[in-house]
Amino acid sequence: MSEKALEDLRNVVLEFDIDKAEQAAKKAVEAGVDPLEAAKALTDAIRDIGDAFAKGELFLPDLVCAAEVLKKALPVISKEIASQGKSSKSLGKVVIGTVFGDIHSIGKGMVSTLLYAAGFEVIDLGINVKSEDFLKAVRENKPDILAMSALLTTTAMEQKNIIETLKKEGLRDKVKVIVGGSPINQEFADSIGADGYGATAPDGVKVAKRLLGI
């Protein structure tokens, strides 16, 4: 029964079945499946989707849909993990958000989902995040990585402003900074003093691992 429940969890992601996601998660819990194994089934599946996207076998809508499935199923599993007092090993902690003035969420959401699937603890600040809120999150959460997204040329420089503010506050050497977004490239990332740049969501995960020596 538990094996079938795990397979069902994996399949709701691979088949982009949002309607059955929460139900599959609840059935796994009712079947007595180890919630850590259930979480792994979900993240393994989303990682497979991400790999297929990186190879050009799937497209952005597929990745977005799979992420939505994960969002439906994961809270049920996470609640069971907490109720059993369990925890999964983390590769590192990432604070992520879209900079102030920018309300684009898809790219940032994809990076956030794939980072989680890869084994990172992810603190997603959302969109239109002010510099002071990024700084507050860095101070309070002490992340290994700060990841910032900007999808507009007019908001790209906000990434530089935040890096400069980190320097002024004595926080720059305490966190690795990754930037991304459609107007961003490696040259721009280098010019503003970022530690890494990812052109796509899967690239963001690779850069995060590289910066932490994983």
User: Quick check: 18 pLDDT over 80?
Assistant: yes
Q: Bigger pLDDT: 57 or 117?
A: 57
Which one-letter DSSP state was computed for residue 119?
T
| pLDDT of 176 | 98
- Give the mean pLDDT of the chain: 93
Q: Name the strands in the sheet holding 93-98, side by side, starting at the edge strand that comes first in the sequence.
A: 121-124, 93-98, 145-149, 176-180, 196-198
| pLDDT of 182 | 87
Which residues, in sequence order, are CB contacts of 99 under 8 Å at separation 6+?
128, 129, 131, 148, 149, 150, 155, 158, 159, 162
Domains of the chain: 2-83 (1.10.1240.10), 93-211 (3.40.50.280)
Do residues 111 and 84 lie in contact, with contact meaning Cβ atoms separated by under 8 Å?
no
CA separation for the pair 46, 69 (Å, rounded): 9
> What amino acid is encoded at 14 in this protein?
L
Instruction: Grade residue 121 by pLDDT with cuts at 50, 70 and 90.
Output: very high
Q: Bigger pLDDT: 105 or 191?
A: 191
Distance of CA 37 to the CA centre of its chain: 20
User: Quick check: 128 pLDDT over 80?
Assistant: yes
| pLDDT of 177 | 98
Residue spans of alpha helices (H) in the chain = 2-14, 18-30, 35-54, 60-83, 106-118, 131-141, 153-168, 186-191, 201-211
| pLDDT of 1 | 61
| pLDDT of 202 | 87
| pLDDT tens digits, one per residue of 153-188 | 899 999 999 999 999 999 999 999 999 998 999 999
What is the H or E stretch that residue 85 is in? none
Query: What are 122's strand-pairing partners?
Result: 94
| pLDDT tens digits, one per residue of 200-213 | 888 999 999 999 99
| pLDDT tens digits, one per residue of 46-102 | 999 988 988 999 988 998 899 899 989 989 998 999 899 887 788 999 999 999 999
Q: Is 102 helix (H, G, I), strand (E, B) or coil?
A: coil
